[in-house]
Amino acid sequence: MRNINLIVQKQPNMLQTDVRYFVCKYNDPLYVKLEKIAVMVQLASERNIDQVLSEFREYASEVDITVVRHSVRAIGQAAIKIDRAAERCVDCLLELIKTKVNYVVQEAIVVIRDIFRKYPGKYEIIISDLCENLDSLDEPDAKAAMIWIVGEYAERIDNSGELLESFLESFHEEPASVQHQILTATVKMFLKVPQSSKQLVGRVLKLCTDESTNPDLRDRGYMYWRMLSKSPEVAKQVVLSERPTISENPFALQPRVLDRLVANISTLASVYHQVPEAFCDNNRRGGTMEQEDDMEDYAETLAQVQEEIQQTAGKKYEEESGDEESEDTASSSASENDGAGGGRPSGAAAGGGAAPPPLRPLAQVLSEQTRGQQGQTGLRVAAAVVRGNGGAVGMQLMVGNFSQQPMSGWAVQMNKNPFGLAPSGPLQLNVVPPNGTGKVLLPLTPNQLSSGSAPSNPLYLEVAIKTNVDVFYLNVGYDLSAVLVDDGPMPKDAFQRLWQSAPADKKAVCQGAFSQKVTADMVSTRMQQYYCFLVARTQAQDMDQLYFSCATSNKLNVYCELSLQRNGPGVRLICCSEQQVMVPLFQSFVSELLQAPWLTKMPPASPYAARKWFEMVTLLEEVKLVGDRLHYKRITGTGPEEGWVSTKISGKELVVKKEVDDTPAEDVGGPGESGPVELDEALKAKIQDIAKAKKEDFLLYCMKYKVLGFPLDKPKLRILCFHNAGSAESIYTGPKTPFLDWVKESKQVEVLAFDYPGRDKLMKAAKHTSTDTLAPELLGVAYEKLTDGVPYMVWGHSVGTWVGFEFLMLCRKIGIPMPLAAFFVTFPAPHWPETKRPWRRCAKLSDAEMKKEVLGWDAVHFGGAGKVVFEEPTWKETWEPMMRADFKLFDEYKFKHAGAPKFDFPLHCWWCESEQNVKSEMVQAWKDWTSADFDYQVLKDNGHLTAFYNPGMKKEYFTKVTEKMKKYSGL
């Protein structure tokens, strides 16, 4: 990693598309994590900054405080390095500050000071958020940074004098760096607001000159005192002079040094980041006896290391057994023809002695906010039960001390449990200082504390940890492999007799599908790696069948048949046990082990019936409930099939009928004539209830509101912005545009750019698939702003035009004044007939088709620049669910306003000339909706999205919109 760090400094573009390879794993050593974070900062770019920030934000919540600090620092470094991403980085830092975790807040303040220096006059709006944490600062760097910020922006902070005065109580106990900052900040404040700070600056100068024993501080105090008394103007020129901004990349090595180190890649020089000369002794004379002894020790150590390297040469490290290479090393004793089994894979834990990789990472099991037996708090614990070499069992523990005193006197105790797991020895943890962490592996022994009760699902241990502060109680979950024994496979004949004699109602069946291609050899290797031993293997016409046996430490046996679809993703598990309580445990364990979630669980059935059901369901692509019918898609031997299934059962058979034509009506009509609209008091009450519930969430929906310098004291205009599908509010709020320039220069315009739930700060909120629910929610969020009498305008792009339209229809129904004008861009009018909509419904697309559809948009509008979006697991976990929900906003939109009166405000509509789907006449149909002026324009050479994402086209487009808005606002 140290070598890679040098390479990416020299050639940063080389690995920019491969950031995912440097993501920290939970079991990476600390020094590896820190190097990976450093490399990710070097690789950060406009294309991948969202992915990088997401990783840093996650690391900032880890138990290890060192990792947290480096992660917060990395966010600041990314902000300084990438101008266009600075705003997102600042938002991320603000989120971390709001967690109120002391060391996170302090590190964030330090990096924000550097961001202020890099971007003067841009993000000062967040100073109030920083000042809220002033009392919690106890680290010199954080104090110095906060004092610098107070002094630098003293004229903008109403109580800056009080803030600086609060540091004087402990002035002589503070380190020199803090004392220097107090002195300089106070002088800055006096030069900016002399009337309110004359007494304070005199007091500080006296502390520095008469009472300080630090000669540097005393001399600087005398210098300032003389300048202020002789010529305050000269003092201003010196103290308040413009400073050069921080360089683009102050974190890299000097070019000369970097060149030398790159020329010495894979040597000690490149590992230690020191030029080769630094390792040489310039004294050419003979060494002393002590030096000769050191050299002998060094030679002996080097010989030991070389011997270890030779002993371990050729050993292959496998983090997982499920990769393609494992097929070559799979069990050779399993015969495809005779079904023989019983072998163990080379390199697997079972029989080989090597520890299998943990199925579960370290997970937080105790929060620092959780109270102990005596009501004390401050202990955070992350834990995982793991297997070690030779089948040993242990519990990995990482503790963090968030109290104000050192933690010591560690002891651990476990409650009785079904498998009798108990500590094999004491909890050997050293004293952990405040804000410190500690790690330990606690050996466990089974069958020592047996409860005699049946195991629960999921499995967990009840643990008590004692410290000098308090006794804390926690639960640690674990998987079944922790208590399986390395006894090898059951004899094949015995297995066959037991399996055939087991009643059908004792065999539980469940089935699912793999997310990627998996072979029988890969499954066999992975199962045996976690102490489930292959007994036999057979082949049917279209599937491989594997038979496994395993046993727990208290002699509970489980037997199973795993059937794998040879040319598809399907997998079926049939298992049984003398103790039926083990069956659901084993099912959960296999699902977790093979990463194949069970789609459903089958009732006991005959092997033939189970096989037929398995063959049908594994090929099922989609099932959707519509009314009292299920719509299904599946692949059959003759090709794809699609149809409807009634949920009503006739006799014992489901009534199946082919899909009927549910084509919507050709045309439901458009608007009526102009006229008054009857107020809907029930709707108004509903919106007011939403407004009350969402009052505290305004900044989640309009996340840039404060960053842009709002709220204003007396705004003269507001602009409400609604974004397109798959996007966010940032298409309106960044980066620098003629629109934002006008907003900032006028100082009288506020922008409410909405995020729809499911992105940015609303990532975990429920996504909307209909404007019927989205529009009321957004209106509730904006209700207070829209009812204070300030005029407004609306701007919507793509599906944002329909969201904006429904928003305005609601406004009209509850008596909110209409806007000065609306700007609706490149989307059909809402009453355009459903049968003529120019897109195919994405709800009917399979996952692969959906991905292909979005990839096509990326290729056309961004030249494939957004490929990071399609990387797994990001696409599956984040982007595809968001895209599907957003696409449903227009896919399933139902126009319900036929005959409604026209609007009485002007409409401005643009059509993008290079549109793939939307035609000019579809956009011009918006004219039907206004009795006032209708302005229609064509954006030359623009595609559906390039008006927002092509810098040149965006500037031209935003300039046109801004000029129109200026005419209405008079600003």
Say yes or no: 651 and 588 in one domain.
no
Instruction: Render 736-756 in DSSP notation, one character per residue.
Output: --HHHHHHHHHSSEEEEEPPP
Question: In Å, how far are 79, 701, 785, 954 from 122, measured between CA atoms?
Answer: 13, 22, 25, 22
Q: What order do you get walking across the sheet with 422-423 strand by strand?
A: 363-366, 379-387, 393-401, 437-445, 422-423
In a domain, 723, yes or no: yes
Q: Which SS3 state, helix, strand or coil, does residue 287 take? A: coil
**How far is the C-alpha of 189 from the C-alpha of 197, rounded, in Å?**
7
Structure confidence at residue 459 (pLDDT): 92
Domain of residue 156, residue span: 140-244
Strands 411-414, 792-797: pairing kind: unpaired
Identify the DSSP state of 879. I
Structure confidence at residue 627 (pLDDT): 54
Structure confidence at residue 783 (pLDDT): 95
Highest mean pLDDT pick, 288-292, 370-374, 655-659: 370-374
H/E element holding 535? strand 533-539
Question: CA nearest 358: which of 396, 325, 322?
Answer: 396
Q: Cβ contacts of residue 650 below 8 Å, gap of 6+? A: none
Domain boundary residue, one of 478, 505, 534: 478
In a domain, 96, yes or no: yes
Arithmetic mean of pLDDT over the chain: 81
pLDDT of 545 over the 80 cut: yes
pLDDT digits (tens, 9 = 90+) for 70-80: 999 999 989 98
Structure confidence at residue 615 (pLDDT): 46
Structure confidence at residue 28 (pLDDT): 82
pLDDT band at 2 (very low <50, low <70, confident <90, very high): confident
Say yes or no: 550 and 567 in one domain.
yes
Structure confidence at residue 687 (pLDDT): 94
Question: CA nearest 228: which of 237, 217, 241?
Answer: 237
Least confident of 425-434, 677-686, 699-708: 699-708
Specify whether the CB–CB gap between 930 and 823 falls below 8 A.
no
pLDDT digits (tens, 9 = 90+) for 319-335: 333 333 333 333 333 33
Question: CA nearest 373: which of 463, 469, 462?
Answer: 469
Say yes or no: 698 and 647 in one domain.
no
Say yes or no: 261 and 199 in one domain.
no
**How far is the C-alpha of 572 from the C-alpha of 563, rounded, in Å?**
5
Q: Amino acid identity, residue 238?
A: V
CATH number at residue 510: 3.30.310.10
Instruction: Sort residue 555 into left (φ over 0), alpha (ψ -120 to 50) or beta.
Output: left
pLDDT digits (tens, 9 = 90+) for 747-805: 999 999 999 998 888 887 889 999 999 999 999 999 999 999 999 999 999 999 999 99
Instruction: Determine the average pLDDT of the residues in 389-416.
Output: 91
Residues facing 463 on adjacent strands:
414, 474
Residues facing 797 on adjacent strands:
825
In a domain, 902, yes or no: yes
Instruction: Determine the average pLDDT of the residues in 951-964.
Output: 89
Structure confidence at residue 243 (pLDDT): 74
CATH number at residue 691: 3.40.50.1820
pLDDT of 855 over the 60 cut: yes
Instruction: Determine the average pLDDT of the residues in 351-373.
Output: 82
pLDDT of 636 over the 70 cut: no
Structure confidence at residue 193 (pLDDT): 85
**How far is the C-alpha of 765 from the C-alpha of 757, rounded, in Å?**
5
Strands 598-602, 508-513: pairing kind: antiparallel
What is the reported pTM?
A: 0.41
Residues facing 643 on adjacent strands:
632
Say yes or no: 47 and 78 in one domain.
yes
Say yes or no: 698 and 834 in one domain.
yes
Question: In Å, how far are 724, 748, 820 from 792, measured between CA atoms?
Answer: 20, 12, 6
Structure confidence at residue 667 (pLDDT): 64
Question: In Å, how far are 251, 569, 775, 952 from 603, measured between CA atoms?
Answer: 62, 22, 45, 62
Long-range pairs for 737-746: beta carbons < 8 A, 24 or more residues apart? 737/954, 737/955, 737/958, 738/955, 738/958, 738/959, 738/962, 739/958, 739/961, 739/962, 740/708, 742/962, 742/965, 742/966, 742/971, 743/708, 743/719, 744/708, 744/709, 746/969, 746/971
pLDDT band at 618 (very low <50, low <70, confident <90, very high): very low
Question: CA nearest 910: which of 970, 843, 848, 822?
Answer: 822
Q: Which residue has the tokens 């794998």?
A: 564
pLDDT of 405 over the 50 cut: yes
Structure confidence at residue 305 (pLDDT): 39
Instruction: Determine the average pLDDT of the residues in 329-343.
Output: 40
Q: Which residue has the tokens 């830092």?
A: 93
If one counts every other C-beta atom within 10 angstroms of the C-beta of residue 923, the result is: 25
Q: Cβ contacts of residue 916 below 8 Å, gap of 6+? A: 860, 943, 944
In a domain, 857, yes or no: no
pLDDT band at 556 (very low <50, low <70, confident <90, very high): very high
pLDDT band at 625 (very low <50, low <70, confident <90, very high): low
More reliable by pLDDT, 317 or 79: 79
Instruction: Determine the average pLDDT of the residues in 537-551.
Output: 89
Say yes or no: 507 and 589 in one domain.
yes
pLDDT band at 861 (very low <50, low <70, confident <90, very high): low
pLDDT digits (tens, 9 = 90+) for 460-503: 999 999 999 999 999 999 999 999 999 889 999 999 999 988 88
Specify whether the CB–CB gap between 149 and 117 falls below 8 A.
no
Structure confidence at residue 585 (pLDDT): 93
**How far is the C-alpha of 836 from the C-alpha of 827, rounded, in Å?**
13
Q: Which SS3 state, helix, strand or coil, does residue 955 take? A: helix
Instruction: Determine the average pLDDT of the residues in 195-204.
Output: 86
Structure confidence at residue 782 (pLDDT): 96
Structure confidence at residue 408 (pLDDT): 92
Q: How many domains are there within the chain? A: 6
Specify whether the CB–CB gap between 734 and 951 falls below 8 A.
no
Structure confidence at residue 542 (pLDDT): 78
Say yes or no: 76 and 176 in one domain.
no
Highest mean pLDDT pick, 93-97, 172-176, 748-752: 748-752
Say yes or no: 14 and 112 in one domain.
yes
Instruction: Render 775-791 in DSSP notation, one character per residue.
Output: HHHHHHHHHHHHTSS--
pLDDT of 660 over the 70 cut: no
Q: Which tokens belong to 876? A: 């599956």
Q: Which SS3 state, helix, strand or coil, does residue 572 take? A: strand
pLDDT band at 135 (very low <50, low <70, confident <90, very high): confident
Structure confidence at residue 844 (pLDDT): 66
Q: Which residue has the tokens 């709006």?
A: 125
Say yes or no: 166 and 260 in one domain.
no
CATH number at residue 427: 2.60.40.1150
Say yes or no: 390 and 342 in one domain.
no
Structure confidence at residue 662 (pLDDT): 44
Structure confidence at residue 864 (pLDDT): 59
In a domain, 540, yes or no: yes
Q: Which SS3 state, helix, strand or coil, does residue 225 take? A: helix
Integer Rg of the chain from CA: 34
More reliable by pLDDT, 397 or 605: 397
In a domain, 935, yes or no: yes
Q: Cβ contacts of residue 894 below 8 Å, gap of 6+? A: none
In a domain, 872, yes or no: no
Structure confidence at residue 818 (pLDDT): 96
Question: CA nearest 748: which of 704, 784, 718, 720?
Answer: 718
**How far is the C-alpha of 153 from the C-alpha of 160, rounded, in Å?**
8
If one counts every other C-beta atom within 10 angstroms of the C-beta of residue 116, the result is: 23
Q: Cβ contacts of residue 294 below 8 Å, gap of 6+? A: none
pLDDT of 638 over the 70 cut: no
pLDDT digits (tens, 9 = 90+) for 245-294: 676 555 567 777 777 777 878 788 778 777 777 776 555 444 444 444 54
Specify whether the CB–CB gap between 589 and 479 falls below 8 A.
yes
Question: CA nearest 259: which of 248, 267, 270?
Answer: 270
Say yes or no: 195 and 87 in one domain.
no
Q: What are phi and psi of 655, to 5 degrees?
A: -80, 115
pLDDT of 731 over the 70 cut: yes
Instruction: Determine the average pLDDT of the residues in 336-355.
Output: 48
Question: CA nearest 23: which of 61, 63, 71, 55?
Answer: 55
In a domain, 470, yes or no: yes
Highest mean pLDDT pick, 120-129, 407-416, 662-671: 407-416
Domain boundary residue, one of 478, 505, 522: 478
More reliable by pLDDT, 910 or 100: 910
pLDDT of 726 over the 60 cut: yes
**How far is the C-alpha of 578 from the C-alpha of 24, rounded, in Å?**
43
**How far is the C-alpha of 33 from the C-alpha of 53, rounded, in Å?**
15
Question: CA nearest 570: which of 542, 592, 593?
Answer: 542
Structure confidence at residue 642 (pLDDT): 59
pLDDT of 863 over the 70 cut: no
